[in-house]
Every structure is written in structure tokens, then in C-alpha cells.
């Protein structure tokens, strides 16, 4: 047996696992906490979304897509990485290494694409508010999400499961990494993230411009209505939902920036990076998967009220 390999059978048989240093314990604790937060907050968010009646059903579909992708990141990315941190190497086998590589890249993309769909949804709701019910129907929303998930998973399986697969490093530390052509991998990942973020930013700037124009028009109509004694003056168009999406986007940008910098730098030169720096960037990246739920809660009164009612109902049944 290879003396460098450590597996769960050996651990169950009582053979000691190499002792973790302070930094590795810190990473393991943060990883475990991240998994708990992702797998606790996001399922609760799905239940609350299902029960909330004040949110449009089409918007719920896009929010659910983002939430499910966050759950999958916790299950199929952070949790397997946690076993790698505890054992100082990949112990789940070569097949799962390749599968996790496909999952991590596809789920990161799905999280970004779901956010892009949410932005487009808010764009249509504000810019084409009168036509929104016909432009974005529940059936169309579900179809768009299904196509997005199918295309992203298919591309990831072909690109990162066949042509750019993850493998177990032959030298210590034996971790699950991209086998070859890292520059191509970096180009694909960074380009997809950059294009999505730029698109979201442009759409939001357009939303703000339209909102300002509508605000000026409504202000002038209100003044005319007041002069004429009309009490039914038009109300200001709310952009709170679009602002919420923008806040989530900025959170994504902050959480993902370190990982992008690491990916690009690693593709240029491994020597200039601190050891295990990628572990921290991955954790910061994964943190975004539970921060989204916190932002939903803080920004949406309907979700807060529904969650409070759900908790009260649970306590009432419990007692």
C-alpha cells in the first residue's frame, strides 16, 4: 500500500491521522461552519419562499434556482473539500475527484447565471412593468431555469469531465486539482464570471436610469395633480427589489474576487502564492452561498414576516 495514502478504512481501524496544525484546524472549523450555514439557511429559505404570498411566482422561480444552486455548492463542493482538509489530501477516489470538479465549476456557474436571471427579471418588471405579466409567465420562467441548468451541466460535464478533468495530484499534497491546461480552465471560468457581472451591472444602471426618468415624470404629474386638487396622484415606482439583486451581486463580487485573483495568479505562477492560500479563497467564495439568504431576510419584509409566522407555528405545534 502506498504510504502516502490515507483512507477512511485506515481511520476506522485505528491508525492515527496526521495531526493538523493551527492553520489547518482553523480552515476545517470554518469549512464545517460554512457547510452548516449553507445547509441550514438555504432549505429554510426555500420553505419560506414557497409559503410567501407577496412575491411574484415568476420571481420565486429565479430565487429558488439561486437558492438550490447554493445548497448544491454546500453538498457537492464545500462538504467534499472538508474531508480533504481533515485528511490533508483527497481520500474519496479518482472518480469522485472528477465528479466534484464538474460539480464545483457547474454550480459556481449556475449560481452566477441564476443571479443574472434574477436581474433580467427585475429589469423586465421595472422597464416593461405593464407588459411584465405577458413577457414573463410562470411557464416561461420554469423553462428558462430548466434550460439554464441543463446547458450549464452539459457543458461542465463535457469541458471539465472529459477535456479538463480534475485528478488526484501525483505528488504531495495529493489533492484534487485540474489535470492540465490550467490556462484554458482559467480563461473559461474568469470569462464566464466577468461577462455575467458586467451584464448585471449594465442592466442595473439602465434600471436606475429608467427609475430616475419615471421619478421625474411622476413628480411633475404629482405637482399638476396637487394644483388641480386631485388626490389620486401617481405613486413613485419602487426599485427596492432591483436594489436587493444589486446588493447580492456586489456581495458575489466581493466574495468571488479573491478566488478569481488566486485562479489567475496560479495560472501565471504557482511560486508567488502562499501555501494553501486557495483554501481560504474557496471558503470566502462559498460564504456567498449563505449570505444570499441573509440579504433576502434583511431586504424583504414579506420573507421576514413569513419566516416569523413559520417559527411561531413551529413553536405552537411543539408546545
**Selection from 239, 284, 317, 307 nearest residue 43 by Cα:** 307
Q: How far apart are CA 157 and CA 125, in angstroms?
A: 34
Q: What's phi and psi for 166, nearest 5 deg?
A: -80, 140
Neighbour count for residue 180 (Cβ, 10 Å)? 12
Contacts of 73 (CB under 8 A, 6+ apart): 38, 104, 107, 108, 111, 286, 289
Q: What is the DSSP string of the chain?
A: --TT---HHHHHTTPPPPPP-HHHHHHHHHHHHHHHHHHHHHHHHHHHHHH-SSS-HHHHHHHHHHHHHHHHHIIIIIHHHHHHHHHTS--S-HHHHHHHHHHHHHHHHHHHHHHHHHHHHHHHHHHTTTTHHHHS-HHHHHHHHHHHHHHHHHHHHHIIIIIS-EEE-SSSS--EEE-S-HHHHHHHHHHHHHHHHHHHHHHHHHHHHHHHHHHHHHHHHHHHHHHHT-S-PPPPPP-HHHHHHHHHHHHHHHHHHHHHHHHHHHHH-STTSPTTHHHHHHHHHHHHHHHHHHHHHHH-HHHHHHHHHHHHHHHHHH-
Handedness of CA 144, 146, 149, 154 (dihedral sign): negative
Which domains, ranges and CATH numbers included, belong to the chain?
A: 8-308 (1.20.1070.10)
Q: How much is the mean pLDDT over the chain? A: 82
For the chain, what percent of residues have pLDDT higher than 90? Answer: 31
Instruction: Read off the pLDDT of residues 106-125 as tens digits, 9 standing for 90 and up.
Output: 998 999 999 999 989 989 98
Cα 194 from chain centroid? 15
Asked whether the predicted pLDDT for residue 296 surpasses 70, the reply is: yes
For the chain, what percent of residues have pLDDT higher than 70? Answer: 83
Radius of gyration of the CA atoms of the chain, in A: 23
Asked whether the predicted pLDDT for residue 239 surpasses 70, the reply is: no
Tell me what pLDDT residue 59 has.
92
Q: How far apart are CA 316 and CA 312, in angstroms?
A: 6
Quick one: cell of 281? 479563497
Instruction: Read off the pLDDT of residues 185-198 as tens digits, 9 standing for 90 and up.
Output: 778 888 888 888 88
Contacts of 235 (CB under 8 A, 6+ apart): 218
- pTM given for the model: 0.83
The 3-state secondary structure of 29-58, one letter per residue: HHHHHHHHHHHHHHHHHHHHHHHCCCCCHH
Q: How far apart are CA 230 and CA 216, in angstroms?
A: 18
End-to-end CA distance of the chain: 56
Q: How far is CA 258 from CA 46, 77, 201, 269, 297, in A?
A: 29, 17, 19, 16, 26
Q: How far apart are CA 161 and CA 182, in angstroms?
A: 14
Instruction: Read off the pLDDT of residues 21-77 as tens digits, 9 standing for 90 and up.
Output: 888 888 899 999 999 999 999 999 999 999 988 888 999 999 999 999 999 999 999
Amino acid at each position: 500500500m502506498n504510504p502516502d495514502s490515507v483512507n477512511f478504512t485506515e481511520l476506522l481501524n485505528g491508525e492515527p491521522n496526521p495531526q493538523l496544525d493551527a492553520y489547518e484546524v482553523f480552515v476545517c472549523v470554518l469549512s464545517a461552519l460554512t457547510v452548516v450555514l449553507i445547509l441550514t439557511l438555504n432549505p429554510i429559505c426555500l420553505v419560506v419562499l414557497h409559503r410567501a404570498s407577496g412575491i411574484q411566482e415568476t420571481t420565486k422561480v429565479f430565487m429558488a434556482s439561486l437558492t438550490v444552486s447554493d445548497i448544491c455548492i454546500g453538498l457537492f463542493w464545500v462538504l467534499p473539500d472538508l474531508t480533504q482538509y481533515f485528511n490533508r489530501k483527497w481520500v474519496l477516489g479518482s472518480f469522485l475527484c472528477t465528479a466534484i470538479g464538474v460539480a464545483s465549476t457547474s454550480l459556481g456557474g449556475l449560481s452566477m447565471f441564476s443571479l443574472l436571471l434574477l436581474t433580467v427579471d427585475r429589469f423586465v418588471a421595472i422597464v416593461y412593468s405593464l407588459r411584465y405579466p405577458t413577457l414573463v409567465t410562470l411557464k416561461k420562467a420554469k423553462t428558462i431555469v430548466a434550460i439554464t441548468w441543463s446547458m450549464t451541466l452539459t457543458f461542465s460535464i463535457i469541458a471539465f469531465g472529459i477535456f479538463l478533468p480534475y485528478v488526484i495530484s501525483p505528488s504531495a499534497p495529493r489533492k484534487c486539482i485540474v489535470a492540465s491546461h490550467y490556462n484554458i480552465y482559467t480563461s473559461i471560468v474568469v470569462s464566464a464570471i466577468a461577462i455575467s457581472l458586467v451584464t448585471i451591472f449594465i442592466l442595473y444602471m439602465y434600471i436606475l436610469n429608467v427609475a430616475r426618468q419615471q421619478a421625474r415624470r411622476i413628480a411633475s404629474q404629482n405637482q399638476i395633480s396637487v394644483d388641480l386638487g386631485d388626490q389620486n396622484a401617481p405613486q413613485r415606482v419602487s426599485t427596492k427589489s432591483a436594489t436587493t439583486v444589486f446588493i447580492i451581486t456586489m456581495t458575489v463580487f466581493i466574495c468571488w474576487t479573491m478566488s478569481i485573483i488566486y485562479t489567475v495568479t496560479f495560472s501565471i505562477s504557482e511560486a508567488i502564492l502562499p501555501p494553501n492560500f486557495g483554501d481560504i479563497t474557496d471558503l470566502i467564495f462559498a460564504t456567498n452561498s449563505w449570505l444570499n439568504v441573509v440579504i433576502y431576510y434583511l431586504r424583504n419584509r414579506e420573507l421576514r414576516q413569513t419566516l416569523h409566522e413559520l417559527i411561531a407555528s413551529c413553536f405552537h405545534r411543539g408546545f
